[in-house]
């Protein structure tokens, strides 16, 4: 409980019991009774949070964030809140650097991505910008500034997603009260405009422009095995290659934290086999990894591949390695069930449909030509019930096919029906009435 004490000189103070059962006092000075009651109510709520270990209510948290520095310092000395000076003194650059250094659980590529987002934030706000001074409006302006630099929408979403990650960590450390990036869209969406199907003719030209066997294998692993580059390429060992059964174990650093997703078994496709054998014959005895010379993190595979594409007389396509992988998944989906293809490629069917599978010009050409658009007649006939075939033939077959039926009784019945259809005395369908039904096809002579 907290109570208001009125001193003789007109000043007021609030007494309450702290979490250690000691009696604490907060001096308010001269103020109105209404203001003192408001402070007393929130002091009582803050004291209850320290005793019971529960977070403060939203109303109290908003009140604390809006009070002046003098009252906030008095609450901090009573150990009801964190000192505001320490919160406001937390600088953007220093906090992100400490956060990245503490993430010992992430992959090297993730660290690179976190540092890229850190650079974007520091370039926009400055390294000395206090965390608590960045508002939701500032976050909106940051997003628009990234778009103004010509970055793609998905790239901007990734950067904002990592910025939101930084502020979530700051909230857990009680350095800020709110996340300014909470309302910004950070989920990466599909972008069909950046999909590109790398044809086999283009792939062969690029392979011819590669400088050595290792680069040819890097390209072939991406185009003909659909592997993620560079993580899965660099993780592939010669011991993972099963020459006898034409299979290889692909280890996936990206998905290894999911149960059962650390590796997958992939066929050694005929298009890949010669490049894999060439690299094996060129490897030094005792070499462990399939890709040996490009393991330095400073090597930019994308830049080097762009040079080879230009050397081949082609234009670079968007998302170089992703579209090689997407092209292979699209090809395989033409010949194998999608669930099998997803096991080989290492993704799920929803992800494949959203980000990988493409509609190509060949699909349009086949649709226009009618290739595979209708089931074969023989297959349709084989699926019919044998007991229904004579009747179905009588309903749908041509007159010539009906004459060729193997059942002469049925043939005679239909021939008789056709011969007598011009006789006005003959009615094939008996009139409806109270008379007993007659068999179909019985001749009824008019009186």
pLDDT of residue 447: 44
pLDDT of residue 97: 92
pLDDT of residue 383: 35
pLDDT, averaged across the chain? 81
CB neighbourhood size of 334 (10 A) = 11
More confident residue, 401 or 24: 24
Q: Does domain 209-368 have CATH number 3.30.160.270?
A: no
Q: Where is average pLDDT lowest: 113-122, 313-322, 364-373, 390-399?
A: 390-399
pLDDT of 377 higher than 70: no
**pLDDT band (50, 70, 90) for residue 65:** confident
pLDDT of 143 higher than 90: yes
What is the rounded average pLDDT of the residues 80-93? 72
Q: Which residue has the tokens 């997603």?
A: 161
pLDDT of residue 88: 53
More confident residue, 260 or 198: 198
The β-bridge partners of 263 are: 251
pLDDT of residue 85: 55
Question: What's the angle, vertex CA 214, arms to CA 250 and CA 247, rounded to 5?
Answer: 30
Overall residue count recorded for the chain in this entry: 447
**pLDDT band (50, 70, 90) for residue 44:** confident
pLDDT of residue 84: 61
| Gap between the Cα atoms of 341 and 59, Å rounded | 53
Which pair of structure tokens corresponds to residue 192? 């069909």
Q: Where is average pLDDT lowest: 37-51, 203-217, 320-334?
A: 37-51
Q: Which residue has the tokens 């078994």?
A: 265
pLDDT of residue 379: 35
More confident residue, 58 or 157: 157
| Gap between the Cα atoms of 410 and 406, Å rounded | 9
pLDDT of residue 48: 83
Q: Where is average pLDDT lowest: 97-101, 150-154, 423-427?
A: 423-427
SS3 of the chain: the string is CEEEEECCCCCEEEEEECCCCCEEEEEEECCCHHHHHHHHHHHHHHHHHHHHCCCCCHHHHHHHHHCCHHHHHHHHHCCCCCCHHHHHCCEHHHHHHHHHHHCCCCCHHHHHHHHHHHHHHHHHHCCCCEHHHCCHHHHHHHHHHHHHCCCCHHHHHHHHHHHHHHHHHHHHCCCCCCCCCCCCCCCCCCCHHHCCCCCHHHHHHHHHHCCCHHHHHHHHHHHCCCCCCCHHHHHCEHHHEECCCCEEEEECCCCCCCCCCCEEEEECCCCCHHHHHHHHHHCCCCCCECCCCCCCCCCCHHHHHHHHHHHCCCCCCCCHHHHHHHHHHHHHHCCCCHHHHHHHHCCCHHHHHHHHCCCCHHHHHHHHHCCCCCCCHHHHHHCCCHHHHHHHHHHHCCHHHHHCCCCHHHHHHHHHHHHCCCCCCCCCCCCCCCCCCCCCCCCCCCC
pLDDT of residue 390: 39
pLDDT of 420 higher than 50: no
What dotted CATH number matches 92-189?
1.10.150.130
Ranges of each domain in the chain: 2-81, 92-189, 209-368, 402-430+440-447
Q: Where is average pLDDT lowest: 37-46, 220-229, 336-345?
A: 37-46
More confident residue, 217 or 407: 217
pLDDT of residue 235: 93
pLDDT of 123 higher than 50: yes
**pLDDT band (50, 70, 90) for residue 425:** very low
What does each C-alpha distance from 229 to 217, 240, 259, 347 come to in angstroms? 12, 17, 22, 14
pLDDT of 416 higher than 80: no
What is the rounded average pLDDT of the residues 117-134? 93
More confident residue, 346 or 421: 346
**pLDDT tens-digit readout, 276-299:** 999 999 998 889 999 987 777 667
First to last CA, the chain: 112
**pLDDT tens-digit readout, 307-357:** 999 999 999 999 999 999 999 999 999 999 999 999 999 999 999 998 899
Distance of CA 121 to the CA centre of its chain: 24
Burial class (CB in 10 A: 0-12, 13-18, 19+), 100: middle
CB neighbourhood size of 74 (10 A) = 19
pLDDT cut 90: percent of the chain above it:
46
What is the rounded average pLDDT of the residues 165-179? 87
Question: What's the angle, vertex CA 331, arms to CA 330 and CA 335, rounded to 5?
Answer: 115
| Gap between the Cα atoms of 212 and 160, Å rounded | 40
């Amino acid at each position: 409980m907290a109570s208001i004490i009125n001193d003789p000189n007109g000043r007021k103070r609030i007494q309450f019991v702290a979490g250690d059962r000691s009696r604490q006092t907060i001096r308010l000075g001269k103020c109105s009774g209404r203001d003192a009651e408001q402070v007393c109510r929130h002091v009582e709520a803050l004291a209850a949070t320290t005793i019971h270990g529960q977070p403060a209510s939203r109303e109290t948290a908003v009140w604390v964030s809006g009070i002046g520095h003098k009252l906030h310092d008095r609450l901090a000395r009573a150990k009801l809140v964190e000192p505001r000076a320490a919160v406001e003194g937390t600088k953007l650059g220093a906090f992100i650097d400490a956060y990245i250094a503490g993430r010992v659980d992430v992959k090297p590529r993730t660290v690179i991505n976190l540092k890229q987002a850190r650079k974007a934030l520091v370039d926009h706000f400055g390294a000395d910008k206090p965390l608590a001074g960045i508002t939701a409006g500032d976050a909106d302006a940051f997003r628009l500034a990234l778009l103004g630099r010509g970055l793609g929408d998905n790239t901007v979403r990734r950067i904002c997603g990592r910025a939101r990650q930084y502020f979530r960590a700051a909230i857990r450390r009680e350095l800020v009260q709110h996340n300014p990036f909470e309302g910004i869209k950070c989920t990466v969406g599909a972008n069909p405009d950046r999909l590109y199907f790398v044809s086999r003719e283009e792939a062969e030209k690029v392979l011819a422009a590669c400088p050595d066997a290792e680069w040819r294998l890097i390209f072939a692993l991406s185009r003909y095995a659909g592997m993620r580059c560079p993580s899965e390429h660099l993780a592939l060992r010669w011991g993972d290659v099963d020459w006898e059964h034409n299979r290889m174990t692909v280890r996936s650093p990206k998905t290894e934290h999911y149960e059962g997703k650390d590796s997958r078994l992939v066929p050694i496709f005929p298009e890949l086999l010669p490049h894999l054998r060439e690299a094996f014959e060129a490897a030094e005895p005792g070499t462990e990894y399939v890709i040996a010379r490009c393991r330095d993190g400073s090597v930019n595979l994308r830049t080097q591949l762009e040079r080879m594409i230009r050397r081949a007389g082609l234009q670079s396509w968007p998302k170089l390695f992703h579209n090689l992988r997407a092209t292979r998944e699209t090809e395989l989906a033409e010949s194998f069930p999608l669930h099998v293809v997803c096991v080989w490629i290492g993704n799920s069917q929803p992800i494949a449909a959203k980000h990988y599978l493409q509609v190509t010009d060949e699909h349009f050409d086949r649709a226009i030509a009618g290739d595979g658009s209708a089931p074969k007649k023989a297959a349709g006939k084989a699926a019919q019930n044998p007991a229904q075939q004579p009747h179905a033939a009588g309903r749908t077959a041509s007159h010539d096919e009906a004459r060729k039926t193997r059942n002469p009784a049925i043939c005679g019945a239909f021939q008789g029906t056709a011969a007598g259809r011009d006789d006005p005395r003959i009615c094939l369908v008996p009139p409806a009435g109270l008379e007993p039904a007659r068999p179909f096809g019985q001749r009824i002579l008019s009186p």
